[in-house]
Amino acid sequence: MSPKFFSQSSLLSGVRDGFNNQPKQAHTVSPVALPQTVQTKAPSIDIVKLGDDLHHLILTELLESCPSSLLALALVSRALNAITTPYIYRTVTLKRHNPFDRKSRARLGSINLLERLKSENENGVAKHVRHLRVEEFSSADDLEKILGRFTKPCCKLTIGRWNTSTTVPPDVLSMLETKWPDAKLVVRDHLRHNEKGQTWDLDENLLRSPQLDILDIDILTEGYGYGDKPCLSEWPQLSSLLRTGCRPRTLRIKIRAGYPVKIWRPRRRGPALYRDQDLPRLSLDQDTTLPPLKELSIIKVSGAGYYFDPAHSAMLAQSMDWSNLKKLDFGRDCPVSLFTQLIGRLPNLISLRFGFPNTEINCDAVYRFIDALNSLEKLEIYNVAVQSTDIWTAIKKHRDTLKTLILHPSRLAYQQTKYVELARLKDVVKYFKSLEHLGIEVPFEAQELSGDSKEMLNLRTLDLYIHLPSAATTFSADYQPDVYGRVQVPSLEADSVVTQLIAIADAISQAQQENKNKQKTLRKKGGRPLERLNVHFARTGYSDRYQPYRVEAELQLVRSVRDDAESLGDKKWNVDGKLAWSNPHW
């Protein structure tokens, strides 16, 4: 795979009639004396004297794009320090740092900020805080003392995040609900499967708070497989909470294999699970009414998956108002029964993620579900090559609105890698004009894609999935099997990989810049072509007696945001990634 492929392919081809290839106009000198041009100096602008609205626009952009620039601006003068301080302290994180990391600037700065907030003379920092995030905070007394600084009339919290598995103190929760009744509460708990003791249990008081807006939580299960067998889990407890006061607007669930307390081993610490074994899913009946959600995510990480049988899917579809749902995420799973029940019932859905199974199943309901949606903006499908021919008509319907289209490859260790047909990839170039983020798997030797197409994608981010062959390449060495048939996958050549990927990214950027129409579009969006290249490598190794297994590695190239990035050469790309092979999660 060479950079020439990406600059000449029908996916990302160069345009010969762009700006750089226009004939230069001839300039003639008139015999009439021309007036001398007077160079005027642009007037200097004092940022301090700008209005509050302009300050808000400028500093908000700096806060989102480059926080370090905002900190540097605060050191210029006292006037600028006074203007930037409300934006610097807009978000405050309370966390417990590593006690051995004593020289960390982040740790020292955090400790200094906590001491200022706890002191009586906190120099007005609290009045600027709008977003308070708690992460593994150890002292409840310190937390109450800090929140007490925010009770002044000039202080107004809008978002409170509880990103820890520790139970929230009752006084702290009461203060949040009393002093800031309009503040949104975000709960993110992904550490209970690693914690010990009482922190494993779900915090029911916190989850029943009327301010709860986003619930991002792990659900522990003792079972494995497809979830079609009863097992101990936290699903009954979560179901009870959703029926009795837990009313989030966003529900994100990750299913993990936990290590719960055994009924016959009461001394073992763990989550307080129900004794009755049941199927690992929400406990629903005819009278169950779930909160109307704007985002629903059910992803299996490990353990027993969510069992979507037809009866349960019908009950789940009837227990909730789906009309306002904007994002639906099932990870790699494909709940065909639920898709059947939801056809035509999600008019506002703009983001969808799921994955096709490797086995042969009837997915007509999935095609009809996607076809019935109004305007998708993001579509992410795993193992799409299995069903790419049948589903493409439904995907093509959203060609005018799709901004993100990620077609993940199939993960097949015992079979040959399947690729999306060439005609489908050409359709992406030809019809999907609004696409800004594309993810595709390309064959390592893809000479059949070369062509002279003048179509160009408006790409900002490109994800490439590349399955390396067993032979030696510029990225990695050849296989060397031993006498038992075992093949240790050779390491990736870091220097060669980075050099090749930078050349590919530059070829894509150059092809984009040579398109006249593309150049106009880029000016409106900041004047930058490709901003990010994510490359995912895969290779097949072989264990004892030549048993195949799959390993993966990844690398990211991110274009510098500096105005003079083009003059930096290869250094304009920031490289991130370890390039170390690892076994993927299946």
pLDDT tens for 231-270 read 888 888 899 999 988 999 999 999 988 754 433 344 444 4
579: left (phi over 0), alpha (psi -120 to 50) or beta: left
- Rounded Cα–Cα distance for residues 461 and 453 (Å): 21
- Rounded Cα–Cα distance for residues 503 and 492 (Å): 17
Identify the pLDDT of residue 163: 86
Which phi and psi (to 5°) does residue 536 adopt?
A: -115, 115
| Strands 327-329 vs 295-300: parallel, antiparallel or unpaired | parallel
Identify the pLDDT of residue 395: 93
Identify the pLDDT of residue 105: 58
Residues in the chain predicted with pLDDT less than 50, given as ranges, are 2-38, 197-199, 260-270, 272-274, 446-454, 516, 518, 522-523, 525-527
Identify the pLDDT of residue 450: 41
- Rounded Cα–Cα distance for residues 238 and 248 (Å): 12
User: Is there a contact between 329 and 299 (Cβ–Cβ < 8 Å)?
Assistant: yes
Domain parsing of the chain, residue ranges: 51-88, 89-189, 203-321
Identify the pLDDT of residue 449: 40
Which phi and psi (to 5°) does residue 300 adopt?
A: -90, 120
Identify the pLDDT of residue 523: 47
- Backbone Cα Rg of the chain: 28
Identify the pLDDT of residue 257: 82
Q: Give the residues across from 461 on adjacent strands.
A: 437, 532
CA dihedral 467, 550, 531, 87 (to 10 degrees): 180
- Rounded Cα–Cα distance for residues 518 and 17 (Å): 12
Identify the pLDDT of residue 220: 83
User: Is there a contact between 425 and 11 (Cβ–Cβ < 8 Å)?
Assistant: yes
Which phi and psi (to 5°) does residue 449 adopt?
A: -90, -5
Identify the pLDDT of residue 403: 94
